[in-house]
Structure 1
Amino acid sequence: MLSRADDFPIHQTPEPIAVSGTDRNFYDRYFFSAQAPDGGAVVGVALGVYPHLNIIDCAVSVLHAGQQHSLFASRVLGGERMDLRVGPVTLEVLEPLQKLRLSIAPNETGIAGELIFTGRAAPILEPRFIRRNGTRTLMDVTRMTQGGQWSGQVSAAGASHDLTGWRGTRDRSWGVRPIGAPDAQAVQPPTPPQFFWLWTPTAFDDWLLFFHSNDDEHGRPWNRAGVLVRLKDGAEFPLEDPRMALAFRPGSRHAGAARLEARLQDGRPVTVDFRIGDNFMMRGIGYGHPIRGHGMFQGPDVLAHEVIDLAGVDPANPMNAHVQGLAEAQLSIAGAPPLAGRGLFEQLAIGPHAPSGFRELFDLAA
């Protein structure tokens, strides 16, 4: 099947661009987060293309005043992977690796606006994520992450937000991960579910911090990396032996505070202390959503609206396990006075994780 993308010199296999190898779980996704300077409002966006499922979907969610309003849109892709329109949402790459625009036309959900992301530094490339359950590939993913600033405006629930001065993060990931309907045939022998994930993109006036960790049940990382990006020249400073200590909120798997300790390659110590406030619920942009999940067929052209009241969220419900905590941060390099910043503290803990005291599928912190 030929598409408009085939007229660009971007092929990486002998096949048309509409085809991405043979794994039905191949995906290509954009993620964005925008946060007000005082942390009083946050916008999250996920837009994904699923070539072999022939679906494109998008979710835009605005958290403000204790409520998270979400727009969900999905349609049949028709093989055109460069047509990034779904429902009222259109994504445009204005300047590759630097500037993108998300337009949301007025619609029945009440969420609308124009949001423009501009990178504060070049994206970083994270280590490739490869994870298998027995002989079956669970993840084989490449991801780039970029800190940026926002302009434009967005409205939701009758409130309009001017994005001037807002900072945030975007990422682009592509490869293989579970999407759409679950596999009907389980791995043999059965593999108990286990997945532990932390991600802490954080913006400071002069620095960007990126840290992530995927751990096994013993707390051993199978993918962990950290880097500081100096904004005045874009220089990257990898963090050696980064380790995160978590203080969990009782009755949950969500941290309320954390400390990252590492060192630069020249031996100077780096510490980052996080104080975590409200949680942005990731199901509000499709992650783990039972109906609006990424790549799930919802109909040929669907638009939906949902509201999450944070006061009513049950942290013991597994559907609420995946969150991005809105975090204030204090960065200290080589013992210098701490620098204040703000970012996300993403967490997902399924199954055992010895350092956190978790022994079962969804037991909670004492």
Structure 2
Amino acid sequence: MLTKGDDYPIHQTPEPIAYSGSDRNFYDRYFFNGYSPDGSEFVAVAFGVYPALNVADAHVSIIRDGVQRCLHASRILGMERMDLMVGPVRIEVIEPLQTLKVTLERAEGLAIELTFEGRSFPIEEPRFTRRNGPRMFMDYTRLTQNVRVSGWTEVDGDRRATGAGWTGTRDRSWGIRPVGAPDTQATPGAGLAGFFWQWTPLNFADTSVFFHVNADTEGKPWNTRAVILPDGADADGGWHSDAPRMEEVTLKRATRHALGGTLKIPLVQGEASVRIEPKGVFLMRGIGYGGDWRHGGLKGELAVAREDIDLATVDMAAPENWHIQAISTAVMSQPNAPEQRGVGVFEQLIAGPYRPYGLG
């Protein structure tokens, strides 16, 4: 059960706050994204604390004119998990499980002030638990919430208001994932054959759609869920399915990124179909998912740096660019209901073989 305390980075186990424990790879993280109604402007934020590593870090990325501009910040945590600030980046929990604010004070030419207001009560995804041989690879809980976004972003002196119709998604996850520097000693019997992940939070006029799947190399899901959630829904609202399918996926040549896909969600009255068409790409390494600024990496007392990525020239086939969010339009059809059009992201990470897509 989700409670207001789950919006603060004070978890000690993959369970909600009532339970406690410890692990070297324990983390507690915020994620936010926001985008214009046509998907042409995009911003994303990650903020994490790593209690056993005594590190906190934050990342902000803004896409404009085909360039992803990233601000990275890292500091020593100092054992205090309630200080939601890393250098120029600050998180404010205005109303737990409903409204949060992110501020990037101007640094390296970048700044933001954005408020994320939930469209409904957040969903609690099924707990993610996966072993890698004898080692726990993942064990975490995540809440996810689609949001309306207000405020502004600034790049090199050009400040732009988000304007009407900006939406997005934010999540909170806590538990165990690989963080910080990798272990130097190999573990006999632990060899991750592959990792397959898709995640598609989508915003429609008065409805949110969520889908995720983790699958093995043969395509068998080990964690999946789809939710259709009307605005204003409470903790028990919406339609939840444990048997969704992502079909009609074709990969872009020489990459591991989909040109599109059709999400199928079983309903009592038939089936919902959501056609997803990517329009742009956001590289997840820009907010700490891999690269030189990977989550939990020790950078010293305080470090702040900017990174600009030209999305037109970057090698999308390179392993550091496998993990993306594709900014996408979506069209949803349901039995006895009018067609709906929306916008969202199609997050993808395929590492290693995945036989349904012909990846060896």
TM-score of the superposed pair, with normalisation by structure 2: 0.92
Q: Note the C-alpha offset of 1:232.
A: 5.1
Q: 2:252 aligns with which of 237, 249, 268?
A: 249
Q: Note the C-alpha offset of 1:312.
A: 1.0
Q: Note the C-alpha offset of 1:156.
A: 1.6
Q: Which amino acid aligns with 2:189?
A: P
Q: Is the 8 A contact 2:134 2:190 kept in 1?
A: no
Q: C-alpha separation between the residues in 2 aligned to 1:22 and 1:192? A: 23
2:331 pairs with 1:325: no
SS in 2 for 1:49: strand
Which residue is equivalent to 1:51?
51
Which residue is equivalent to 1:364?
none
Q: C-alpha separation between the residues in 1 aligned to 2:87 and 2:323? A: 26
Q: C-alpha separation between the residues in 1 aligned to 2:281 and 2:145? A: 21
Q: Note the C-alpha offset of 1:184.
A: 1.2
Q: 1:309 to 1:54 in 2, by over 3 A?
A: same
Q: Which amino acid aligns with 1:47?
A: F
Which residue is equivalent to 1:201?
201
Q: Residue by residue, what CA displacement relative to the aligned partner does 1:299-324 show, whole Å, maximum 9, x if unpaired? A: 11000000000011112210000000
Q: Note the C-alpha offset of 1:353.
A: 1.1
Structure 2, unaligned runs of 5 or more: none
Which residue is equivalent to 2:358?
357
2:283 pairs with 1:296: no
Q: Is the 8 A contact 1:283 1:322 kept in 2?
A: yes
Q: 1:299 to 1:336 in 2, by over 3 A?
A: same
Which residue is equivalent to 1:92?
92
252-261 or 157-166: bigger deviation: 157-166
The correspondence of residues 94-243 of structure 1 with structure 2, limited to 5 A, is 94-107=94-107, 109-165=108-164, 166-231=166-231, 233-234=233-234, 235-243=237-245
Q: Is the 8 A contact 2:197 2:213 kept in 1?
A: yes
**Superposition misfits of 4+ residues, deviation over 4 angstroms:** 10-13
Which residue is equivalent to 1:61?
61
Q: 1:43 to 1:211 in 2, by over 3 A?
A: same
Q: C-alpha separation between the residues in 2 aligned to 1:190 and 1:112? A: 43
Q: Note the C-alpha offset of 1:158.
A: 3.6
Q: C-alpha separation between the residues in 2 aligned to 1:93 and 1:205? A: 26
Which residue is equivalent to 1:81?
81
Q: C-alpha separation between the residues in 2 aligned to 1:279 and 1:41? A: 11
Q: Note the C-alpha offset of 1:348.
A: 0.1
Q: Note the C-alpha offset of 1:104.
A: 1.4
SS in 1 for 2:260: strand
Q: C-alpha separation between the residues in 1 aligned to 2:11 and 2:22? A: 16
Q: Note the C-alpha offset of 1:11.
A: 8.6
167-176 or 328-337: bigger deviation: 328-337
Q: Which amino acid aligns with 1:255?
A: A
2:276 pairs with 1:274: yes
Q: Note the C-alpha offset of 1:151.
A: 0.9
Q: Is the 8 A contact 2:280 2:327 kept in 1?
A: yes
SS in 2 for 1:312: coil
Q: C-alpha separation between the residues in 1 aligned to 2:60 and 2:231? A: 28
Which residue is equivalent to 1:362?
none
Which residue is equivalent to 2:348?
347
Q: Is the 8 A contact 1:20 1:26 kept in 2?
A: no
SS in 2 for 1:255: coil
Q: C-alpha separation between the residues in 2 aligned to 1:329 and 1:261? A: 13
Q: Residue by residue, what CA displacement relative to the aligned partner does 1:142-161 show, whole Å, maximum 9, x if unpaired? A: 00000000111111244322
Q: Note the C-alpha offset of 1:22.
A: 3.1
Q: Note the C-alpha offset of 1:41.
A: 0.8
Structure 1, unaligned runs of 5 or more: 360-366
Q: Residue by residue, what CA displacement relative to the aligned partner does 1:192-229 show, whole Å, maximum 9, x if unpaired? A: 44100000000000110000000000000000000000
2:33 pairs with 1:33: yes
Q: 1:296 to 1:233 in 2, by over 3 A?
A: closer
Which residue is equivalent to 1:314?
315
Q: Residue by residue, what CA displacement relative to the aligned partner does 1:68-115 show, whole Å, maximum 9, x if unpaired? A: 0000011011111000111111111000000011111122x1111211
State the identity as a percent. 48
Q: Note the C-alpha offset of 1:338.
A: 1.8
Q: Is the 8 A contact 1:56 1:86 kept in 2?
A: yes
Q: Which amino acid aligns with 2:134?
A: T
User: What RMSD in Å do the two structures reach over aligned CA positions?
Assistant: 1.9
